[in-house]
Chain A
Amino acid sequence: MSTSDDIRRVARELLEKGEVARIYGYAEGRRGQVRPFIARTPAEAERLLFDRRCVHNLALYLLDLKAEGAEAPRVGVVMKPCDARALNVLVLEHQLDRAQVHVIGVPCNGVEGKRACGTCPDRTPPTYDTLVGEVPTEEPGQAAEDELARLLALPPEERRRFWAEQFARCIRCYACRQVCPMCYCEVCIAEKLDPPWESIAIAPSENEFYHVLRGYHLIGRCIECGECERVCPMGIPVFLYQRYLAEEVRRTFDFRPGMDAETLAPFMTFRKEELEG
């Protein structure tokens, strides 16, 4: 049986038994693409599938449960390793109750078109309730280009110029923020106008402010799914920037966010002894 068949079977059973009210997964879209899809009935579950086109991080849509408050039902969700790490971070940050979610975990060695997959060491989701499919044995298809190393080898002025050029091309569509499961602020500081942290201008200085700020707000929280870079219409290498910060966290704190939902993250934790040097 294929992974898609397994997912359909599990989804049907969960819905038939009433264990979940709906299942967040992927379905065939239009023009050869796959799209996020919510199955609410066993019949709709037949549309679920999984293949290398399933690039979206479905942890994002679990944030919609918050708006439903106490009436939020239990839901199922199909998750790759990176998606499940995002879920762990959201649980750690008290945005979700782990018991609310039935994770249909899918092992993964990369999806189409995402540079982030080239450097991902995870193959099995760190959390799941049902595991379908097999752990892939072959190495990820895309080469792990070490663009970050190349960038870091440049002198600071050239790096500064590189990022200034990139951020100047930004149109502040905020797709990178909207697709990120960790960006769940009710009003983003880049758009908070009273008081104005930055002006509404779509211009190099304001763009840089937004990107640097978002990077810093994600320190110790970014699970490197690479969705931010995938969705950028201008082709700005947003992931490269996030990856740099994530590697700093690894180097400094030996910490990878989302491997579980209990370990406190470095930038969310205050220890009195740290004050004393």
Chain B
Amino acid sequence: MPQRLLNPEELLAWVDRLLPGYRVVAPVREGEGRFFLRPIGGAQEMDLSVTRTVNSLKEYFFPPTEAIVQIRRGKTAVRLEVPVPEERQLLFAVRPCDAAALASMDALFLGDPADPYYGARRRQSVLVGLACLEVPTPECFCTTTGGSPIGTANLDLILYRVPEGYIVEALTPRGEELFQEASGRPVEPPFRPQAPGLPAYPCPPQEDWIRVFTDPLWEELGERCLGCKICTYVCPTCYCFDIRDRGAGGRVERLRAWDACTSKHYSVEASGHDPRPTRGTRLRNRFCHKYYYFPWRYQGTLLCSGCGRCVAACPVNIDLTEVLEEVATRSRVDRSSGRNQAQGLDH
């Protein structure tokens, strides 16, 4: 599709022209040099030297907290309102791994029954990607999960940073509309991006995860795991949530808020029984959900896009790429010895 080259000033002007029509979310710098995806009021707030944002685009489709039902009790009737979001949003300069992560969220939230809140945000959003022509961080591993640093999945437009500025390419009809608002000059012949090389980690198949289900690996990891929610919350694909009502009397709202399977008591049942009583069993569940249960349920879609946030943010150096290697290695050992076959799973 056609491409245009915008110099940095033209790029900012383009974003400023788009601002009135959208809530624009873009990378900004905050605190001590960390990048975050935040709503912006002006293009000059963006920082496109972004390596990777601490937060992912997940919160703009599946927010940390939202009211899913408003309940009003009047004198004679009870009224229920479903507050479906209406705002249009433009996510600017998101990385291909974040856009690819939407595939997992779509599989879950747009399936049956469809989630109206996610669905509305998804329909009302335009995504402009920033391709990774260099590897942004040492923790990146998108190719391991079937992605690409120059991938265009779920993007409406893509940006390629070049010495003179940014090359913009429209990818969808919606992207074309925004493309028309950009200035700059046409790029002929078309720019062909080269994907940088990334370290390759194993992506163990389902059988490997089954074989290591009772391996000591999980308790070894659990020993140092803090049981916090960092990995889950920075992840673009983790979607665990809790639902609780807030309010009293005539006005109650039913809230949906993020939660994490890594935390103590997450799985405690009404009887008081906890099927995942240790940090190790909870970690096992989280990793198996991402690489075994979710693809099993959703036609092979992984619940991971290799963005590396969990690896970078974990305070005790629990590294998903290392877990993938350990699962691949230990399952080979188990295969030959016949030990550690998972019990009680009806595959």
Contacts and interface: CB of A to CB of B under 8 A. Distances in A.
Interface of A: 29-31, 33-38, 56, 60-61, 169, 171-175, 177-179, 187, 191, 193, 196, 199-203, 227, 230-231, 233-236
A177 B242 CA distance: 20
Interface in B199-255: 223-224, 226-230, 232-234, 242, 244, 246, 255
A33 B322 CA distance: 13
28 contacts: A30-B322, A31-B138, A31-B139, A31-B319, A34-B317, A60-B226, A169-B30, A171-B229, A172-B229, A172-B258, A173-B228, A174-B228, A174-B263, A175-B229, A175-B230, A177-B228, A193-B244, A196-B244, A200-B65, A200-B244, A202-B258, A230-B315, A231-B226, A233-B230, A233-B313, A234-B31, A235-B32, A235-B34
The 4 closest A-B CB pairs, nearest first, are A235-B31, A175-B228, A29-B317, A35-B317
B316 interface: yes
B64 interface: yes
Nearest to B31: A235
A172 B317 CA distance: 20
A28 to B, nearest CB: 10
A235 B313 CA distance: 11
B43 interface: no
Contact of B316 (A56, A202, A234): A56
A184 to B, nearest CB: 11
Nearest to A176: B228
Nearest to B59: A171
Interface string B258-287: 111001010000000000000000000000
B37 to A, nearest CB: 13
B210 to A, nearest CB: 25
A82 to B, nearest CB: 16
B54 interface: yes
Nearest to B259: A200
Nearest to B138: A31
Contacts of A169: 30
**Contact-size category for B:** 35 or more
A201 B255 CA distance: 7
Contacts of A61: 223-224
A38 B139 CA distance: 25
Contacts of A230: 315
Contacts, number: 100
Contacts of A187: 265
Contacts of B64: 171, 202-203
A28 B244 CA distance: 43
A233 B227 contact: no
Contacts of A33: 317
Contact of A171 (B31, B233, B263): B233
B257 interface: yes
A187 B30 CA distance: 32
Contacts of B232: 173
B234 to A, nearest CB: 6
Given A31-B319, A33-B317, A35-B316, A199 B244 contact: yes
A199 to B, nearest CB: 4
Contacts of A35: 224, 316-317
B54 A234 contact: yes
Contacts of B246: 196, 199-201
Contact of B234 (A34, A36, A201, A233): A233
Nearest to B227: A178
A239 B64 CA distance: 24
Contacts of A177: 228
A275 B122 CA distance: 61
Of A33, A178, A193, chain B has the most CB atoms within 10 Å of the CB of A178
Interface in B296-325: 311, 313, 315-317, 319, 321-322
Nearest to B234: A233
A108 to B, nearest CB: 19
A100 to B, nearest CB: 18
Contacts of B224: 35-37, 61
A34 B230 CA distance: 19
Contacts of A56: 315-316
